[in-house]
Amino acid sequence: MARIINEPSHTFSEYLLLPGYTSEECVPDAVSLKTPLVKYKKGQEECPLSLNVPMTSAIMQAVSDDRLAIALAKEGGLSFIYGSQSVESEAAMVARVKNYKAGFVVSDSNLTPEDTLADVLELVRTKGHNTLAITSDGTANGRLLGIVTGRDYRVSRMTPDTKVKTFMTPFEKLITAPADTTLKVANDIIWEHKLNSLPLVDDEGRLVYLVFRKDYDEHKSNPQELLDAEKRYMVGAGINTRDYETRVPALIEAGADVLCIDSSEGYTIWQKRTLEYIRRLWGDKVKVGAGNVVDREGFLFLARAGADFVKVGIGGGSICIPREQKGIGRGQASAVIEVAQERDEYYRETGVYIPICSDGGIVHDYHMTLALAMGADFLMLGRYFARFDESPTQKIQINGTYVKEYWGEGSNRARNWQRYDLGGAGGLSFEEGVDSYVVYAGALHDNVEKSLYKVRSTMCNVGVLNIPDLQQNAKLTLVSATSIVEGGYHDVMLRSTSKPNM
């Protein structure tokens, strides 16, 4: 008969941390959240890739594009650009992230002089910034004819059909620089002329890059930025087990720092073959994670197959329904605890430390700290990031509340059948994800800052200043259903209907 695991499958909400001794040195500002991203020989060499904060964004259409990747890298985390798009489109997103931090930004907001104020306002709404390049053909590399910023128009005094050519700052009034201008010289020009941006153009007058004053300012105000050796933002990319022979080389060429096989279930021959292909062609030079798994056997399979990190979790995501559809999965807390135990045993036996990523099951901010204490090296978050300005979905109003669209990769909307590939014919036979909304939460920076302050504060309550010490010294207790009720407000009448930001 089937092997029965009699212990219940637990979620994060069924656990609490016990406080430890807090010394005077144990303050949130002293806590380090740096954590390994890929495998290394612990004690013998440094981890080749680390995160400054233990956050990665999920490989989803509704979450991880180049804009969110840039915003998260500024905070010290890393995005995995979604792979359920063409190879060319995904590679272009990766390239835009890598080009962005170099200071030379390829314009993503472009119009022609014949476009209208309505077109300007729509671009500002969708892109979130108001520096628009006006080119001869409306492309990022067309002949530059002018620039439009928020100072060039007043909505209250202009009609939507007003032509861009009537209010743009024309080329002859712009300060520009040659395409081969160095970043230092470009910044000097910006400061000397008190500019917000500097267009770089080639000998034919075509726009090549924009350099922004805010990039210099942001670098000074974001000491946690996740940068590569060339001071560019780091970015990951999702791949699948079908077209990897085409997708992987293109993503490497585009500059992806790390790859991840995006699949609902990682204990498969298809992931093993994908990992073997990468190791055969690039050895250990290309870093690639795999998953998802929920037990010891799954972790060992992927570790032996060559994974640089292993994702843990099946069915715990807010839009994932494989447990409902197929009866497969495991409570996220139970999965993380068991896989972390096997990760540690594997390290003792081999000397190789393979980080694990907890993917799914995070409902409240404190769940992040619990997942780390249970052994996760970093987290992958979907719903959390989908709520922010920088996610690629629309912000709309429903019944007086602003929301953002959010759908699963296994939903009919995404139709990412490659993620659920079991070797048969292509196609999505049934849904393993839903199409939904999440309550809009504002800017990524503000929310991440608040969430991570809670994590640091909780770690101080436990009496630790870094993630390894949290994993070694934390004490966790299971809680009863009654205890869970006791943990929230009860037996009172609230004076306000507002709820804490989660």
pLDDT tens across 390-430, in order?
Answer: 999 989 999 999 999 888 776 565 555 455 555 555 554 55
Integer Cα distance of 293 and 342 in angstroms: 12
When pLDDT is averaged across residues 309-322 and rounded to a whole number, the result is: 79
CA–CA separation, 410 vs 427, rounded Å?
A: 11
Mean pLDDT of the chain: 90
pTM above 0.95, yes or no: no
**Is pLDDT of 60 > 90?**
yes
Span 137-190, pLDDT tens digits: 999 999 999 999 999 999 999 999 999 999 999 999 999 999 999 888 998 999
Backbone φ, ψ for residue 212 (5° rounding): -110, 140
With beta carbons less than 8 A apart as the criterion, state whether 210 and 198 touch: yes
56 pLDDT above the threshold of 50 = yes
* Residue 488 scores a pLDDT above 90: no
Q: What CA–CA distance (Å, rounded) separates 401 from 29? A: 35
379 close to 362: Cβ distance less than 8 angstroms: yes
Q: Compute the average pLDDT of residues 60-66.
A: 94
485 versus 273: which is more confidently predicted? 273
| Residue 297: both structure tokens together | 């056997």
Q: How do 110-111 and 132-135 pair as beta strands?
A: parallel
Question: pLDDT at position 415, please?
Answer: 56
419 has catalytic annotation: yes
Rounded CA-CA distance 303/309 in Å is 8
Joined together, the tokens standing for residue 319 give 């839009």
Q: Cα separation of 341 and 243, whole Å?
A: 33
Token duo for residue 393: 């979905």
Q: Tokens for 139?
A: 């492309």
To the nearest 10°, report the CA torsion of 70, 72, 74, 75: 180
Sequential DSSP letters for 278-298: HHHHHTTSS-EEEEEE-SHHH
Query: Which residues does 341 contact at the CB level (< 8 Å), separation at least 6?
Result: 296, 375
Tokens read off for 181: 């201008």
Confidence category of residue 206, pLDDT binned at 50, 70, 90: very high
pLDDT at 376: 98
* Region 203-232 average pLDDT: 85
Under the banding of pLDDT at 50, 70 and 90, the label for residue 75 is very high
pLDDT at 417: 45
Catalytic residue among 26, 47, 260, 320: 320
Amino acid at 174: L
What value does the mean pLDDT take over residues 462-479? 97
pLDDT at 317: 67
- Closest residue by Cα to residue 80 from 324, 417, 320, 380: 380
Structure confidence at residue 435 as a pLDDT band (50, 70, 90): confident
What's the Cα-to-Cα distance from 56 to each of 171, 240, 444, 462, rounded to whole Å? 41, 18, 13, 24
Confidence label for 220 from pLDDT (cuts 50, 70 and 90): low
The pLDDT of residue 178: 96
Cβ–Cβ contacts within 10 Å for residue 398, how many? 9
Token pair belonging to 165: 């050519």
- For 162-196, give the secondary structure using H, E and C: CEHHHCCEEHHHCCCEECCCCHHHHHHHHHHHCCC
Please state, for a pLDDT cut of 70, what percent of the chain lies above it.
90
Model confidence over 77-98: pLDDT tens digits? Answer: 999 999 999 999 999 999 999 9
Residues 293, 83: Cα–Cα separation, whole Å: 20
Pairwise pLDDT comparison (408 vs 355), residue with the higher score: 355
pLDDT per position as a tens digit, 104-150: 888 989 999 999 999 999 999 888 788 999 999 999 999 999 999 99
Q: 325 versus 370: which is more confidently predicted?
A: 370
Q: Which 3 state secondary structure label does DSSP give 216?
A: helix
Task: Give the whole-angstrom CA distance, residue 20 versus residue 105.
Answer: 47
Q: Which pair of structure tokens corresponds to residue 452?
A: 């991570």
Q: Are 64 and 57 in contact (CB under 8 A)?
A: yes
What type of residue sits at position 61?
Q
C-alpha 77/C-alpha 466 separation (Å) is 16
Q: What mean pLDDT is predicted for residues 64-73?
A: 96
Cα–Cα distance for residue pair 351/40, rounded to 1 Å:
9
CB 239 within 8 A of CB 273: no
Residues 382 and 386: their CA atoms lie apart, in Å, by 6
Active-site annotation holder among 67, 232, 330, 419 = 419
Q: Are 444 and 55 in contact (CB under 8 A)?
A: no
Q: Residue 121: which H helix or E strand, with range?
A: helix 117-127
